[in-house]
């Protein structure tokens, strides 16, 4: 078969149809490649600059300057904590109307099961809260509850990814990475984005919950807590401060010369910046994680003096979160609960079998320290410009699982809340049906929740984008509306 055209060039010869289409295809491919390369080159320079994490202006004036996101993995039951359902109590032990043969994540469901705990109204707003959470109940007038959230997955890992990254698949930037990409940080001696794992272990998905995805690596979260400080930060034995300073100066000169010879390499620049930050953190990180500097009243307020080691550990992490926010860290992720275990509900909120025993173990761990964080931020004047989020990946069924006294997964309706900067406290937005099964009033998505968080930070969720693989990517994908009623 002949592929080569040996005819002499004739500038007056018209192209036949095959030649025209072939030439046009090649030309369009070249144009597309040029556009891709140009847009990728335009997206990368921020990470290559020395000030990749320098403070940057928001799209418009925002109420919040910093965020702490409290995450309870395992799927907290909305109908046993924050969403009161008197009809569920009244119909306890009866089949759920219209759902008598419902099969969910782990199989068949039994009859409706009321919450094992009492409920009471609290605050000027008269918000109903479970008796399991007496400390948080005192703060309902500072909190906006969203009771009508829905998730795209009923499996913990993908659902946690959606709450943290907007997508149920790995590889996408977390909310903290997006926020630090947009706004930078006020601290040059600590990471811009910190993840604080529970003392009992990492959450499902581990670092994927605070990853930077396709954003430059500069914006990923750094994980540590009061029990496990930042890895590889200590100086080697025998090193002196003078010797370390001289070595860092020498390495800085070498890195500077290398960058001059290789301009535009964002990965190289990010790596250099990371090492420089690590050097500064050798001085700042030990101080911020040393909560023994806190007075006895503060430790008692949070419950860090508790005989329960899990509660004391989470309390110390709450104090660490506040200390990080005080020192200019932009985004803190704080976990209350760890990965799944051989016994459901042992290490996190996944109460499939023994709801009462599980929640009487987990709620005291979470309640007092979380409430103390709200109170402490408020008394220090920080709640005015700090956004506090409380999240879980989905809710739980109003029925009991067949053969057990627990609840199965329910992505059709669940609760998360926010407090602090720009939030209309004492608000309850949306609702599930009479039993707590399905979001029915003002149905909301995780995209809406994320859009609202970004609005409070002064960011337009439709304008916060990053070009990747031919698409202008967003935290909210192509969805999301701001939940206006929860805004002050």
Distance CA 301, CA 305 (A): 9
User: Does the pLDDT of residue 241 top 80, yes or no?
Assistant: no
Give the pLDDT confidence of 40-51 residue by residue, as tens digits: 444 444 544 446
Q: What is the pLDDT of residues 375-391, one digit of tens each?
A: 999 999 999 999 999 99
Token couple for 428: 């309850």
SS3 206: helix
Confidence (pTM): 0.86
pLDDT of 10 reads: 56
| Confidence (pLDDT) at 443 | 98
Mean pLDDT of all residues in 267-286: 70
What are the tens digits of pLDDT across the range 321-339? 999 999 999 999 999 999 9
Q: Does domain 50-233+287-486 sit in CATH 3.40.50?
A: no
81 and 127 in contact (C-beta within 8 Å)? no
pLDDT tens per residue across span 287-308: 899 999 999 999 999 999 999 9
pLDDT tens for residues 407-435?
Answer: 999 999 999 999 999 999 999 999 999 99
Q: How far is CA 164 from CA 136, 210, 255, 312, 345, in A?
A: 23, 8, 35, 26, 21
Tell me the C-alpha distance between 350 and 75, whole Å: 6
Find, among 241, 253, 321, the residue nearest to 282 by Cα: 241
pLDDT score for 320:
98
Residue tagged 């964002």 (tokens):
266
Given this model, what pLDDT does residue 4 score?
Answer: 56
pLDDT, tens digit (0-9, with 9 covering 90-100), for 438-482: 999 999 999 999 999 999 999 999 999 999 999 999 999 999 999
Mean pLDDT, to the nearest integer, of 63-68? 98
Report percent pLDDT > 70 for the chain.
86
> Is the confidence at residue 1, as pLDDT, over 60?
no
Q: Are 69 and 235 within 8 A, CB to CB? A: no
């Amino acid at each position: 078969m002949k592929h080569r055209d040996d005819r002499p060039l004739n500038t007056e010869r018209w192209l036949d149809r095959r030649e025209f289409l072939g030439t046009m295809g090649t030309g369009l491919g070249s144009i597309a490649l040029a556009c891709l390369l140009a847009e990728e080159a335009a997206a990368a320079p921020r990470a290559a600059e020395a000030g990749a994490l320098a403070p940057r202006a928001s799209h418009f004036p925002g109420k919040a300057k910093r965020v702490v996101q409290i995450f309870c993995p395992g799927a907290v039951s909305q109908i046993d904590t924050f969403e009161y359902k008197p009809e569920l109590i009244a119909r306890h032990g009866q089949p759920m109307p219209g759902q008598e043969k419902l099969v969910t994540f782990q199989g068949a469901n039994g009859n409706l099961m009321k919450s094992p705990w009492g409920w009471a109204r609290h605050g000027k707003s008269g918000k109903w809260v479970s008796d399991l959470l007496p400390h948080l109940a005192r703060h309902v007038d500072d909190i906006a509850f969203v009771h009508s959230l829905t998730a795209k997955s009923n499996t913990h890992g993908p659902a946690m990814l959606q709450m943290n990254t907007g997508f149920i698949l790995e590889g996408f930037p977390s909310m903290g990475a997006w926020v630090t990409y947009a706004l930078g940080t006020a601290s040059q001696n600590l990471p811009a984005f910190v993840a604080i794992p529970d003392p009992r272990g990492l959450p499902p998905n581990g670092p994927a919950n605070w990853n930077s995805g396709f954003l430059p690596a500069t914006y990923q979260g750094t994980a540590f807590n009061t029990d496990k400080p930042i890895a590889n930060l200590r100086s080697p034995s025998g090193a002196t401060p003078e010797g370390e300073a001289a070595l860092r100066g020498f390495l800085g000169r070498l890195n500077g010369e290398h960058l001059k010879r290789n301009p535009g390499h964002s990965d190289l620049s990010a790596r250099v910046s990371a090492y420089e930050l690590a050097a500064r953190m050798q001085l700042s990180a030990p101080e911020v994680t040393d909560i023994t500097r806190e007075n006895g009243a503060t430790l008692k307020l949070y419950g860090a003096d508790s005989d329960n080691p899990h509660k004391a550990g989470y309390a110390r992490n709450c104090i660490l979160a506040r200390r990080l926010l005080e020192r200019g860290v932009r985004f803190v992720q704080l976990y209350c609960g760890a990965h799944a275990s051989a016994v459901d509900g042992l290490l996190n909120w996944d109460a499939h079998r023994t709801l009462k025993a599980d929640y009487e173990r987990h709620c005291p761990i979470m309640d007092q320290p979380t409430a103390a964080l709200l109170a402490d931020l408020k008394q220090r004047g920080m709640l005015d410009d700090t956004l506090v989020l409380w999240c879980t990946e989905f809710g739980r069924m109003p029925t009991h699982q067949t053969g057990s006294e627990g609840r199965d997964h329910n992505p059709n309706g669940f609760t998360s809340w926010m407090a602090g900067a720009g939030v209309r406290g004492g608000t309850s937005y949306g609702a599930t049906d009479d039993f707590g099964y399905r979001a029915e009033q003002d149905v909301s998505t995780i995209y809406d929740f994320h859009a609202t968080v970004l609005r409070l930070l002064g960011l337009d969720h439709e304008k916060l984008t990053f070009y990747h693989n031919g698409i202008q990517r967003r935290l909210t994908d192509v969805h999301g509306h701001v939940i206006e009623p929860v805004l002050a």
